Every structure is written in C-alpha cells, then in structure tokens.
Amino acid sequence: MNQSYLLKQSRSLQDIAVGLFRNIIFEDPQLKPRIVDGACDLIASDRAGEDLDHRTFSETIKMFHEMQTYTNSFEPRMLELSQTYIAEWAKKESLEKSLADYVASACKLMSGEMARVDMFGLDSTTRRDLLTLLEDHLIQKKETRLGKFSSLFNKYLSMLTSHSQPRRCCRPLR
C-alpha cells in the first residue's frame, strides 16, 4: 500500500485509546452507571457545601466530551438528579423560610448552579435545561406563595440566561 494513504487513514494514539476505553470500560453495563453517577456525586458534594475537587471534575467533563458521551450519558443523568435536588430543596426551603428569605436563598441557589456551569464549561444545553428546572421548581410551582416576587425572579432568570452578572434584583425586601 501507498505510505501516504496509510498516514492519511491513521488515527492518533489518543483517539484509539479513547475509543477503546469507551467501548470496553465505559459501555460496560455495570461500570457505566457507576462512572456517570460518580461524576454526579461530585456535583452533589459541591451542593452540600463540601469541597469539590475542581481538577477531577474538570477532567471528568473533558473525558465525557472526548468519549462523545456527555450528551447521551452524563447530561441526562445530571439533569435528572438536579431536578430531584431542586424540587426537594424548593419544598423544604419554602416551608421553613419566610418569603423574603426563600427568595434570597433561591437566588443564591440559582447563582451557584450557573456558576458551576460556567466554571466547568458545561454545555449550553445543560445551562438552558438547568435554568428551566430552576424556574419550574423555584418559581412556577411556588407562584401562589411568591406573588409579586415571581416577576423579580423572572427578571433574574433572564439575566442568568444572558450570562450577565445579576445585580441585586433578588435582594429580599423587608
């Protein structure tokens, strides 16, 4: 065979290694859920206030992208667990806190979630879907309790969506 043809057709060692890892290890039915849930556990730890190993999480997200499994494996599971977390958080906080404190805490939660998305370069679809979950559980499902604050929240969400820095629009009124 012509040597130039072989050089054009060859894949890099990196590509071969990533493909082998994806096919042999990641796609294993017993390992795949553990790998994905392990990455999601890092997010849960961060939400719980524990120190997040930023390097490990960044490398994990990079790995999902390199294996082309971010959209089909990681993102759906992360959003599923996020929905559970946000729904439980909203229920607990709305029962335990005053309206003003709930609004302040919800704004802090939204800022933290978007900061994580930005810090680790999660996909724009992740940002969009996470904002939708936050809006649904923190605002729409609590709209009767929020009353006049719901328009304030919507303004805050539109600033988060546009990536602008939120001003003090969510400062509780007392």
DSSP 142: G
Residue 147's domain comprises 14-170
Specify the pTM: 0.78
Residue 38 lies in a domain: yes
Residue 75 lies in a domain: yes
Could you give the number of structural domains in the chain?
Answer: 1
The residue assigned the tokens 């996470």 is: 130
Sign of CA dihedral 11, 58, 111, 49: positive
CB under 8 Å to 78, separation ≥6 — which residues?
39, 40, 43, 126
Residue 67 lies in a domain: yes
What is the widest separation between alpha-carbon atoms in the chain?
A: 79
pLDDT digits (tens, 9 = 90+) for 115-168: 999 999 899 999 999 999 999 999 888 777 777 566 666 666 666 666 554 444
pLDDT digits (tens, 9 = 90+) for 25-57: 999 999 999 999 999 999 999 999 998 888 999
- The whole-angstrom separation of Cα 155 and Cα 146 is 14
Q: What is the CATH number of the domain that holds 143?
A: 1.20.1310.10
Residue 3 lies in a domain: no
